[in-house]
Amino acid sequence: MNRKFWSRFFESSLNSNLKSKIQNRKWAGLLAILFVLVGCVEMAEAGQAKLYRVGVILHGGPWYQVVDGLRDGLKELGLEEGKHFAMEIRDAKGDLKAVEKAARDLEREKVNLLYAINTSVTITVRRATADIPIVFCAGTDPVAMGLVDSFAKPGGRLTGVHFLVTDLTAKRLEILKDILPKLRRVVTFYDPGNPVARESARLGREAAQHLGVQFVERHVASVQEFQAGLGALKAGEADAYFQVSDAMVQSQTQLIIDTARAKRLPTVLMDESDVKKGALASYGVSYHEAGRLSAKYIQRILTGTNPKDLPVEGVSGLELVLNLRTAREIGLTIPPNVLAKADKVIK
C-alpha cells in the first residue's frame, strides 16, 4: 500500500469532531481565493510609492518557518520586500510580556497591520492593541478561542489561517505509542496559565488514559523554568518526551531535540522542520505552508479590505515524517508498520 493510502488512513482516523471542523472550513477557503484575485489588481493600482509596514510577532524557534512561508507567499503575489512592504519582526522568545510590549509598540509606531504567529501570541496581541488589523496564523480553533465569530464571517479586526496543531495532540501520542509499543510513561512541560496549553494537555491526558500510558505533567511559567526542568530530567523518569501545544515551550524546540537525543528519549513534534533538525518524528501540517497562505490576507488588508470580510482558511495536508538517523542514535528501531505509514523518511 502506498503513502497516499496511509495519509488518507491517518486523516480518516481523526475523531468526528475534528473531521467536521475540516469540512466546515472548505467552502470558506474557496471564498478566500476570490479575494486574492481582487487584491492583485488593487495592489497594482495602489502604485509603488507606498511602502507598507507589517509588524510580525512570534516566539522564535520553529515559528520562523511561518515567516519564511509568508515571504514566499507575498513574493508569489508579486510583492517585493523592501519595495512594496517591510517586515518589522519582533521575536518574544517565549515571553508573553514581550509579546504584549511588542504589540503596543508596533501599534504606536503605526505599522499597517500585525501578523501574529500562533494562538497564544494572537490572544495577547489582540488584548494589547485597540484598533490595528491583525492577521493570525493559529494552531488552535480560532472560534473556540474567541478570536473570531466564525470561519466564514470572522467579525471584528482579526482574520487569518488556522492549521491543526492542538487538535492533533491525541493523534501524536498514538503515533508515539505505535513507534514505541512498550511505552509506559511520557513527560510533558507546559504553562498552565496558557489556555491553549491547558486544552492540549487535556487532550493528551485523555489519550494517555485510553492508551494505558502515564502522563507526567510538569508546569513551567517561563523559558528559564522549562530549561531547568528539561535539563533536570533523569534516566528512567520517562520513556519519551511528549510535546503539547505551548508556544513558549515550542520556542525552545532545538533544545528539546538536543536534550531528547542526549537522553535517548523518543518524541513526536509538530513540523517537518523539527525532524530535519534531529527530532525523531513529526505529525501535522507544514508551518511554511501556513505562512504562505497567510500572504493573501495581508495583501487584501493592505489594499483596504476589512478583516471581518475575509473568511478564515484552514491548511490541509497532514504528514508523518520520520528520522531514521535519530532513531539509530537513540537505539530505537521504528516498527515496519509505522515506516509504511510515513509520508517522508529522513535516512
Q: Is 67 helix (H, G, I), strand (E, B) or coil?
A: helix
Q: Does domain 166-284+320-346 have CATH number 3.40.50.2300?
A: yes
* pLDDT at site 285: 96
Q: Does domain 15-163+287-316 have CATH number 3.40.50.2300?
A: yes
Which pTM does this prediction carry? 0.86
Cell of 29: 477557503
- CA 128 – CA 123 distance, rounded (Å): 9
Which residues have C-beta within 8 Å of that of residue 127, sequence separation ≥ 6?
100
Which residues have C-beta within 8 Å of that of residue 30, sequence separation ≥ 6?
none
Per-residue pLDDT tens, the chain, 347 aa: give them.
Answer: 444 444 444 444 445 555 555 555 554 555 455 544 445 445 544 444 589 999 999 999 999 999 999 999 999 999 999 999 999 999 999 999 999 999 999 999 999 999 999 999 999 999 999 999 999 999 999 999 999 999 999 999 999 999 999 999 999 999 999 999 999 999 999 999 999 999 999 999 999 999 999 999 999 999 999 999 999 999 789 999 999 999 999 999 999 999 999 999 999 999 999 999 999 999 999 999 999 999 999 999 999 999 999 999 999 999 999 999 999 999 999 999 999 999 999 99
- CA 330 – CA 217 distance, rounded (Å): 23
Q: Tell me how crowded residue 9 is: count the other CB atoms within 10 A of its CB.
A: 11
Which residues belong to CATH 3.40.50.2300 in the chain? 15-163+287-316, 166-284+320-346
- CA 228 – CA 254 distance, rounded (Å): 15
* pLDDT at site 7: 45
* pLDDT at site 49: 55
* pLDDT at site 17: 52
